[in-house]
Amino acid sequence: MRSGRDLLRESKILGAWLLLTLVFCMWPPLVQGQDHPTHEGHDANGGQAGMSNDMPGMDMNSTAPDPMAAMRTPEKLAADKRESEFNHHLAGFFVVLAGIFILAEPRLSSRLPNIRYAWPVCFLLAGIFVLVYSDTELWPFGPQSWFYGLSHHMEVRQHKSFALILLAVGVIEFLRARGSLKAAWAGWVFPVVAITGSIILLFHEHRGGMHGAGHMERMARIQAEHHSYTAAGFGIGLTKGLSEIKTNWQPVFNKLWPTIMIALGVMLMFYTE
């Protein structure tokens, strides 16, 4: 029997981890805060800050050289677009597959007892993929170091945070399915991180759409897509949390949260920039 003190300590640890995740994702580059004291449409050298968004290869927001600046050609931007869309589509496929496994588990568990591991493995595979391939400008695929990418680009930090969230959920749910993790708090990790990830998505920065003609329209469409993902993420977190509570509605929530997860996966599979 776990004591109230143990539960309180575990709650504090989980809360601290979530707070650090939010700070990590929304922490602005230190270079920008130190080297650019002017903020009224001009940079520290007197140029117009807005020019940097429309001139490939130029970064007016940082005095440090950007290893990727010379590679922002139309061909490279088109390749980045294809890569980003593929990443979303594959992640969506894993999410849809996980939701199907969850809904099918009650019917197939008697014949396929190991099916209970299937959906956590889907999250682990998605987390590994996002961690490795979400930003191919980083080593070993590109010239940027991980330190440079994480310290200068919020988008990179957010991508890696989403990967860690997927991996954390996959590990915890795998251990729960195995029966080696029976603590009450473990059932609340998924709902909490789903809502946390949705909050992070509200602040998601997408650098790829900010170049070339029609970038404002693309950014508006991407933002609308992210808002739909946020709403679905909140729905998943809320219904998953309610499914952990023993009430008359528990069977309904047990089916509702994977259904919403499948809907989120389908939306990701149709992501366009």
Residue 202 maps to a domain: yes
The answer to the question of residue 254 being in a domain is yes
What average pLDDT does this structure show over 67-74? 58
- Please give the residue that has the higher pLDDT: either 136 or 234: 234
pLDDT band at 207 (very low <50, low <70, confident <90, very high): low
pLDDT tier, 22 (very low <50, low <70, confident <90, very high otherwise): very low
Of the candidate ranges 24-38, 66-80, 122-136, the one whose mean pLDDT is the lowest: 24-38
Asked if residue 231 belongs to a domain, the reply is yes
CA 127 to chain centre: 9
Identify whether 219 is part of a domain.
yes
d(CA 272, CA 221) in angstroms, rounded, equals 8
Residues with Cβ within 8 Å of 185's Cβ and at least 6 positions away in sequence, in order, are 7, 10, 11, 14
167-190: average pLDDT: 92
What average pLDDT does this structure show over 218-231? 87
Cβ burial of 72 (10 Å; 0-12, 13-18, 19+) is: buried
184 domain residue, yes or no: yes
- Residue 34 domain flag: no
Q: Judge whether 94 lies within some domain.
A: yes
User: Distances from the Cα of 273 to the Cαs of 84, 178, 218, in angstroms?
Assistant: 8, 40, 6
Reported as a single tens digit per residue, the pLDDT across 138-166 is 888 878 888 888 888 888 888 898 899 99
57: confidence class by pLDDT, cuts 50, 70, 90: very low
Per-residue tokens: 228:
């739909």
Which range, of 1-15, 63-77, 171-185, 255-269, averages the lowest pLDDT?
Answer: 1-15
Contacts of 247 (CB under 8 A, 6+ apart): none
206 assigned to some structural domain = yes
* Distance, CA of 44 to CA of 66 (rounded, Å): 17
Structural domain of residue 241, as residue ranges? Answer: 74-269
Distance of CA 16 to the CA centre of its chain: 19
Number of domains in the chain: 1
The pLDDT value given to residue 250: 94
Residue whose token pair is 């059932």: 187
